Amino acid sequence: MAIAAIPHDAHGEVDQLYVETRELRLQGFLLFLISDCVLFSSFIFAYLYLRNTGQGWPPPGIARLDVAFAAWNSVVLFGSGATMHYALENWKHGNFMKYMWMLIATIILGAMFLGGQGYEYHHLIFDEKVTWAGSGIFGASFFTLTGMHGFHVFMGVCYLTVLLLQTAAGTYTYQKYFGITAGTLYWHFVDVIWVVLFSIFYLL
């Protein structure tokens, strides 16, 4: 993790306490993401296991998922990953307004992804009659995994909104901005998980 500037305290000395605390937080946050990743992996294992015990996939009576729509929705999410990346880069370079716009774009794209997912759920549940509890292992694994991911995106959107308000209120400085770093890491993590979920549900 590149660190743009060395934080100083009020007396102009290096703020060693902050530097060390930030290192701890960064490491703790990465470990949290690893264990979150294990949570997803376990459900993915469950999905693949169930998929291989049944007779073919999708199970009889259930149509294949609509790849095209999900692909467009994925593009939206990956786009938000890019905007979040630029948001952090701009913050590191002190471009406040560009950072704000990028962050807002990220939040909007994230919300659009959620909307897209809502639309897809609506279509599945009401048009295809595929439900969480009523459609066997297909409904169980699909809605659980994508729902979990959607919940992560939702939490991310909430967090980024808080971040937006915090930056507007001046919580972060160009030296001390761990909240923004953490938000970016989290957002990229959610993106990566989606790559896996998209591959195993829509492409496999």
Partner 1 sequence: MSVAAAHSGGIADHIHPEPQGFVRRYVFSIDHKIIGIQYLITGFVFMMLAGLLAETIRTQLLNASGGFVSPDTYNEVYSVHGSAMVWLVIIPIATGGFGNLVFPLMIGARDVAFPWLNMLSFWIFPVSGLMLFSSFLMGAPAAGWTEYPPVSLQGAPGTTMWCAAIFLVGVSSTLTGINFLVTILKMRAPGMTFTRMPLFVWGQFATAPLLMIATTALAAALAALFMERVFGVPFYDPTKGGSPVLWQHMFWFYSHPAVYIMILPLFGIISEVLPTFSRKPIFGYKLIAFSSMAIALLGFMVWAHHMFTSGLAPFLQVLFMVMTFTIAVPTGVKIFSWIATLWGGKIHYSTAMLFALGFLALFTFGGITGVFLAAVPTDLDLHGTYFVVGHFHYVLVGGSLMGVFAGMYYWFAKMSGRLLNETLGKVHFWLFFVGFNMTFLPMHWLGFMGMPRWVATYDPQFQFWNRFESVGSYIMTLGILCFFINVIYSIRAGKKAGPNPWNARTLEWQIPSPPNYYNFKHIPTVYGLPYDFSQPLPYTGLEDELTDSPPAQLTGAHH
- Using CB under 8 A as the criterion, which residues of the chain lie in contact with partner 1 when the complex forms? 13-14, 16-17, 19-21, 23-24, 27-28, 31-32, 34-36, 38-39, 41-43, 45-46, 49-50, 53-54, 59, 132-133, 136-137, 139-141, 143-144
Nearer to partner 1, 4 or 14 (CB): 14
Smallest gap from Cβ 179 to partner 1, in A, equals: 16
Q: How far is the CB of 40 from partner 1 (least distance, A)?
A: 8
Cα separation, 104 vs 30, in Å, equals 25
**CB 202 within 8 Å of CB 70:** yes
Q: Which is nearer to partner 1, 24 or 97 (CB)?
A: 24
Q: How far apart are CA 171 and CA 189, in angstroms?
A: 24
Nearer to partner 1, 26 or 82 (CB): 26
Q: Minimum distance from CB of 64 to partner 1 (Å)?
A: 17
φ/ψ bin of 12: left (φ > 0), alpha (ψ from -120 to 50), beta (otherwise): left
Report the candidate in 109, 86, 91 with the shortest Cα–Cα distance to residue 194. Answer: 109
Give least dist CB 31 to partner 1, A: 4
Q: Which is nearer to partner 1, 89 or 128 (CB)?
A: 128
Give 25 or 188: the residue with its C-beta nearer to partner 1. Answer: 25
DSSP 8-state assignment for residue 130: -
Shortest distance, position 138 Cβ to partner 1, whole Å: 8
Residues 6+ apart with CB under 8 A from 1: 26, 181
Minimum CB separation of residue 167 from partner 1 in Å reads 24
- How many CA atoms are closer than 13 Å to the CA of 100, on its beta-carbon side? 9
Nearer to partner 1, 52 or 170 (CB): 52
Helices (H), the chain: 16-53, 67-92, 96-122, 136-169, 178-198
